Structure 1
């Protein structure tokens, strides 16, 4: 499991063998079964989590019991709740596995220690956070300015072949539309 994470690092930064061993020594492997929680609303998030296998979702449930999916995570993606992690406050989010999944976890203290001792790792993290902010900004703009069909087409463009791993009801929850609306849009798009 860790070897997948090491391959991810090797594609992005150059590390000495000592740095590689140091990073691995501070990591913890975790397996999740389908539908198993990584984080539940009300808990405090304490990790930086890298997905080596599987698919997870980050979502909130409103007062009416409706799920609002904020984020999907696949292999070689990071997942978590930065607000809860940084502020050490109870999360408003849930993260669970859509399929059997495997992750590499770092406690926040260990992650910060790696950033301190391995400057190229810190630079990589800065790049990831910057990219994440850009993606979130684009998602907000999409949600407030695009039609349901445009949101769906953007989703297909972003997630492409990965969409067959996500149930349609979850795609609808991510797009902020009803499953019936998504069915109509999918039928319309397939006829074009």
Structure 2
């Protein structure tokens, strides 16, 4: 049976990280739901419970929070081949404190949190995959915190370009500045210097 392109991109992603049989993926695929998002459409909004992990097969999403003055703070960009979610809300079942929206017309595969334990119990390969994913995300989070405390604006931007190759041409500069924790004017200066 031929696998639709959106599902094939996830299968390729998984197989690059863990050994995966055709049968395992066929069962896993049954737990996934394909969703299309238009540019600026939200996948998740503050106050809603987060019930899914989303794997981006096409487009680019962004997670962000709002401070009390309504200023946006970009937490993550999720281009193709990335997962995005509000892990705090997903794991604690508390209302989300962040928003996730599409920066481009996008397509995601949704995996319900409620199905994850079933998948883990029957398919240890997926428990291994998601453990590796969480470890990687924890390391990235620690790097980001350390960078925000110790790196210059120029160093932060150069690290961003390495982490998200190609994204600088796809998303508005003010979102990148928000991600870096600097003003758009500071980002313009850094880009001119580089």
Q: Taking structure 1 as the reference length, what is the TM-score of the superposition?
A: 0.94
Structure 2 unaligned blocks of 5 or more: 1-5
Structure 1 unaligned blocks of 5 or more: none
1:88 aligns with 2:93: yes
Q: How many residues align?
A: 189
**Displaced runs of 4 or more, over 3 A:** none
| Greater helix proportion | 1
Counterpart secondary structure, 2:16 = helix
Distance in 1, matches of 2:16 and 2:162, equals: 24
1:176 aligns with 2:176: no
1:22 aligns with 2:27: yes
| Structure-2 residue corresponding to 1:108 | 113
RMSD (Å), alpha carbons: 1.1
Query: What does the per-residue CA deviation read over 1:123-174, in whole Å, with 9 as the maximum and x for residues that have no partner?
Result: 1111110010000000000001111122112112222322211110100110
Change (3 A) 1:181 1:22: same
Distance in 2, matches of 1:17 and 1:156, equals: 35
Contact 1:46 1:107 in 2 (8 A): yes
Q: Taking structure 2 as the reference length, what is the TM-score of the superposition?
A: 0.93
Equivalent residues in 2 for 1:70-149 (5 A)? 70-149=75-154
- CA shift at 1:16, angstroms? 3.0
Greater mean alpha carbon deviation, residues 5-14 or residues 49-58: 5-14
Distance in 1, matches of 2:68 and 2:99, equals: 15
Counterpart secondary structure, 2:166 = helix
Contact 1:48 1:111 in 2 (8 A): no
